[in-house]
Structures are given as structure tokens and as C-alpha cells.
């Protein structure tokens, strides 16, 4: 086993304790990670606070150069990152390689971000300009489904815009983050980036810390609400990217054989463990049976196994807690609908669920109402598109969604009526780093990427001058 270290004030250090990290394909210990205590958390925040003035004072081009160095360092170790990501997270190696290279591109894109001064008004008597300044110390809390990419989507804009950071990965997937910390220790000035690992016991101390200026959290809606309560006492800035129950609306004008593979992939990539994955499908009655059949064929053709093995197209669920939760959804699916593919957990070691397609299920079923975050997909029938839109919107969530059609203008019209922060037409999970995405309703607040990231990691100041 490799020796992993926390990153505090530029030093790679042992934790006050240790934490076993499980390989989800085996259900066995992969490695031992260092685990921080409250004193080390406080040291990390203090180091970030001390490093902030000098980092913020650098020219943006100097910070960009450092982020580009980090991107180069990740790219040079891309194979090691991808293999470690598969071992700790479970996704097939090809998906892990895509995530790692996405992180490389993301660092470079975020490094090029600039918080430009804007002139808002100029008259004969006044000039009004808006400037943006970094906030200070940012806490970044990263989930286990995309531990590398989502880490970079916080670190990238946070550091590029002049903030310093304390990063906390999920306790079930800390290893790739710690490997990143090894690279950062040799590139960034001490204290600019600090990485601690906990066992879900330091989150509230981090988010409530008086020297934290902003919290960027990606995770479940339930935990996001707790984070929001934690920051309320001193009104910290907050970005929440939370859960979703994204609907796919399949219009009556599509070629089912053409769109079914994309719909399947939108639901089953990363074993369905994507906040923006398709969680429920609404198909027009004229092709409902055909779509169900095609999705079932695709599910039965998927190769479930250890993501490091060649030919595997779907890995395990990431952790035992999620595995048990999804097994509960399988029971609900059998009770409330008709399972036409999958429906079982795989026997043996590891947290494997066969990709499952469920038809003839009621809107009131738990599998339809809740976010399953696993490879279990309900397919529902509709006759009138207005009814499909209404049912898609009947959710506390509003993160993403898709519309599938052969008529682009019709697709845009339907998409405009879906209550979500992002909606794709004839595509899915397309998230350019320069395009904002954000959640509606209980899927979050604030946003990631593009101008949302610039605004979220800076404080705007109006300078109003008499001429």
C-alpha cells in the first residue's frame, strides 16, 4: 500500500488517526488514508488564512501559470490517477481516464478565468465601476461519485480568482485527492491549498469555522440543508450543487433505435451515480413498448464487473451504504412495477447491482419520486406532452433533464417548460467549463462553471465616483 499524507501549510503530514479505504469491486481494504482531527483542521484553515494576502496579490497570469503546472503534473501521471480512481471509486477504467483528462482540461480552463472590472455607468457627472475581489479562505467539500473532476471544479476557479482553500474529499474516495495534494505540495506556495480527510466527523467544524469565507459543497440535498444551516450564523457565501431526479421526455417523433443507446447511457454511466443522470423516462405511448424493449436489451448487454478488467462497461456502486440503499429500490421496483431487465444484486464480493429497467410503474412509486443514484431506471408512459411536462416537474428537485426529438424547435419549446437549471435536447451531460450550471428548487443554489464560478468565488464591489 502507498503511503498517503494530508497537505497542511505546504507540508505532507500524517493524520492524527487513519481510515481504511475500501475497493468497492472487492469489498476489501484498498489502502489506509490519514485522518485529520480538529486540531489539524484548524491548522489547515490558519495556513490558508495566512497564505491568502500574498496569493490574492499575485497577477492572474501568475496564478494561471501555477494551475497550468498542476494540470501538466496530473497529465504526466494520468494513468496512475485513472487506475487509482477506478480502484477507490469503482468506475470502469475508460470512464476514469475520461474524468482525469477532464480535470486536466478544467484546470487549464479555470486558470484562464479573469474577474474583469466592468464600467456600469458613465455620465457627465458620475462614473460607476464594478470590481471583483477574492473572498478569502474557501472550504471545498467533494463527493465520492466524481472525486477528481468535482475537486477541480472547486480548486480551479477558487484558486484562479485569488482565494486559498481547504479541501475535504469524501471519506470513501480520498486517495486521488491525496495524490493530487502530493503534486500541489511541490507547485503551490505553502497554505494556498490544504487537504484534510475525515470520517464524516469534521464537516460541521469546517463549514462553521469563523475564518472560512465561503463553502462550496457538492452532495445530497439532505446534507446540503445541514451545510446551509451551519453557515447561517455568519452568513458565509455558499454554493450548493445537490441532488436531482432528472427526467427524460421522449417525444413521439423520434427514432427509438437511434436514441435508446443515448438515453441508456444518460441513466447508467458511472452506475447511475451522477447527480445529472437521467433518473426517470417519460415515453410517448406510441413507442413506449419499443423503448422499453430497447433499453432492456442494452441493460442485458452491459458487462458488470471490476472496472480494471478489460471489457467491463459498468462497475460497482461506490460504497456499501449506497449499495444497500439501491437494493431497497430494487424491492420497490418489483413491488410497484414490472422488471424487464436486471433486478438483482450480483452475488459475491463487491457492491454490484445489475442494470435494471422497470416499466408499468406508478408516478407515486418510491423509485419515481426519490433519487435512486444507482442503475435502476423507471420508464413511464404518457399520451399528451403537456402531461409529461407536468409529471416531470412534479418533483422537489430541478437539476437537469433531457428532451429527445427529431424537431429541434419543438425540443426547445418543451425544454423551456421543464423546471430545471439545465436541460439538454438530444444530448446529455454536456458541461463545458465556460457554461454555467445550477440547480433549481431543492437541487441547489449558486452555480458552477463559467460566469457563475467567477461570481461565486468573488465579492463584487461598486465604486461610484463623482466627476
- The residues annotated as belonging to the active site are 241, 275
Q: How far apart are CA 296 and CA 74, in angstroms?
A: 38
In the chain, how long is the greatest CA-to-CA distance? 77
| Cα 238 to Cα 96, 115, 136, 215, distances in angstroms | 29, 18, 13, 5
CB 6, CB 195: distance < 8 Å? yes
- Tally: H helices and E strands in the chain: 15, 24
- H-helix segments, 172-307: 175-185, 203-207, 221-231, 256-268, 288-301
Q: For 180, what's the count of Cα atoms within 13 Å in the CB-facing half-sphere?
A: 29
Dihedral sign from CA coordinates of 246, 250, 254, 257: positive
CA angle 156, 31, 322 (to 5 degrees): 75
- Is the C-alpha dihedral spanning 146, 152, 157, 159 positive or negative? positive
CB half-sphere exposure, 16, CA atoms < 13 A = 14
Give SS3 for 62. Answer: helix
Beta strands in 41-163 (DSSP E): 118-122, 126-134, 137-141
Query: DSSP class of residue 271?
Result: G
Name the H helices within 161-220: 175-185, 203-207
Buried/exposed 216-251: b ≥16 CB within 10 Å, e otherwise: bbbbebebbeebbebbeeeebbbbbbbbbbbbbbbb
- Residue 289: how many other CB atoms lie within 10 Å: 13
Beta strand pairing call for 193-195 and 164-168: parallel
> Is residue 90 classed as helix, strand or coil in its secondary structure?
coil
Dump the DSSP string for 119-149.
EEEE-SSEEEEEEEEE-SEEEEE--SSSTTH
Amino acid at each position: 500500500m502507498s503511503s498517503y499524507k494530508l497537505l497542511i501549510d505546504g507540508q505532507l503530514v500524517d493524520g492524527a488517526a487513519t481510515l481504511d479505504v475500501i475497493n468497492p469491486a472487492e469489498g476489501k481494504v484498498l489502502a489506509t488514508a490519514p485522518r485529520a482531527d480538529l486540531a489539524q483542521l484548524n491548522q489547515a484553515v490558519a495556513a490558508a488564512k495566512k497564505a491568502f494576502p500574498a496569493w490574492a496579490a499575485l497577477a492572474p497570469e501568475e496564478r494561471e501559470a501555477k494551475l497550468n503546472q498542476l494540470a501538466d503534473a496530473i497529465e504526466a501521471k494520468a494513468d496512475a490517477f485513472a487506475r487509482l480512481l477506478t480502484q477507490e471509486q469503482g468506475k470502469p477504467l475508460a470512464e476514469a481516464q475520461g474524468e482525469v483528462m477532464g480535470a486536466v482540461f478544467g484546470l487549464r480552463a479555470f486558470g484562464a478565468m479573469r474577474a474583469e472590472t466592468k464600467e456600469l455607468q458613465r455620465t457627465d457627472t458620475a462614473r460607476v465601476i464594478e470590481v471583483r475581489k477574492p473572498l478569502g479562505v474557501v472550504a471545498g467539500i467533494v463527493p465520492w461519485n466524481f472525486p477528481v473532476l468535482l475537486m477541480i471544479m472547486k480548486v480551479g476557479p477558487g484558486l484562479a480568482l485569488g482565494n486559498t482553500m481547504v479541501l475535504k474529499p469524501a471519506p470513501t474516495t480520498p486517495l486521488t485527492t491525496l495524490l493530487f495534494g502530493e503534486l500541489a505540495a511541490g507547485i503551490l506556495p505553502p497554505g494556498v491549498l490544504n487537504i484534510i480527510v475525515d470520517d464524516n466527523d469534521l464537516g460541521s467544524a469546517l463549514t462553521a469555522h469563523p475564518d472560512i469565507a465561503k463553502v462550496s459543497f457538492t452532495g445530497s440535498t439532505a446534507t446540503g440543508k445541514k451545510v446551509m444551516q451551519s453557515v447561517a450564523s455568519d452568513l458565509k457565501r455558499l454554493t450548493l450543487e445537490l441532488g436531482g431526479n432528472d427526467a427524460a421526455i421522449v417525444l413521439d417523433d423520434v427514432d427509438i433505435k437511434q436514441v435508446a443507446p443515448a438515453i441508456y447511457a444518460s441513466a447508467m454511466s458511472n452506475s447511475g451515480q451522477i447527480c445529472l443522470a437521467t433518473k426517470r423516462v417519460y415515453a410517448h405511448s406510441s413507442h413506449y413498448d419499443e423503448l422499453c424493449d430497447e433499453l432492456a436489451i442494452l441493460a442485458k448487454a452491459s458487462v458488470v464487473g471490476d472496472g480494471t478488467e478489460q471489457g467491463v462497461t459498468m462497475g460497482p456502486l461506490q460504497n456499501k451504504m449506497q449499495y444497500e440503499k439501491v437494493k431497497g429500490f430494487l424491492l420497490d421496483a418489483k413491488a410497484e412495477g414490472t422488471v424487464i431487465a436486471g433486478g438483482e444484486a450480483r452475488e459475491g464480493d463487491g457492491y454490484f447491482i445489475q442494470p435494471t429497467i422497470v416499466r408499468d410503474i406508478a408516478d407515486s412509486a418510491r423509485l419515481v419520486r426519490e433519487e435512486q443514484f444507482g442503475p435502476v431506471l423507471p420508464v413511464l408512459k404518457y399520451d399528451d406532452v403537456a402531461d409529461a411536462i407536468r409529471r416531470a416537474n412534479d418533483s422537489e428537485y430541478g437539476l437537469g433533464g433531457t428532451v429527445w426529438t427529431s424537431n429541434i424547435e419543438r425540443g426547445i419549446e418543451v425544454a423551456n417548460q421543464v423546471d430545471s437549471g439545465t436541460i439538454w435536447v438530444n444530448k446529455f451531460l454536456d458541461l463545458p467549463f465556460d457554461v454555467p450550471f445550477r440547480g433549481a428548487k431543492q437541487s441547489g443554489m449558486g452555480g458552477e462553471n463559467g460566469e457563475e464560478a467567477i461570481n461565486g468565488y468573488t465579492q463584487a464591489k461598486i465604486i461610484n465616483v463623482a466627476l
